[in-house]
Amino acid sequence: MPGLNRVQLIGRLGRDPETRHTPTGKNVCHFSLAVDRRWKSSQGEMSEATDWFNIEAWAAWGRSARTT
């Protein structure tokens, strides 16, 4: 698909995936993912932060996310 960006996030699952079905029967899976960032400040101190992402996976990706 032109104009579609792909992102790969590697982190920790925040909670168990929740799966539901739309009225038309498509799978939708919701879960949160925690991704850590580490960096060194200009003063040489190490810092760390955690970013949380809310993920929504549809159709085959939703089935795959629920079973893995």
Say if residues 59 and 25 touch (Cβ distance below 8 Å). Answer: no
Encode pLDDT of 29-68 as tens digits.
Answer: 999 999 999 999 999 999 999 999 999 988 877 777 766 5
pLDDT of 5 reads 82
Question: Would you state the pLDDT for residue 6?
Answer: 83
pLDDT at position 68 is 59
- Position 2 scores a pLDDT of 74
Q: Is 26 a residue whose pLDDT tops 80?
A: yes
- DSSP state at residue 21: E
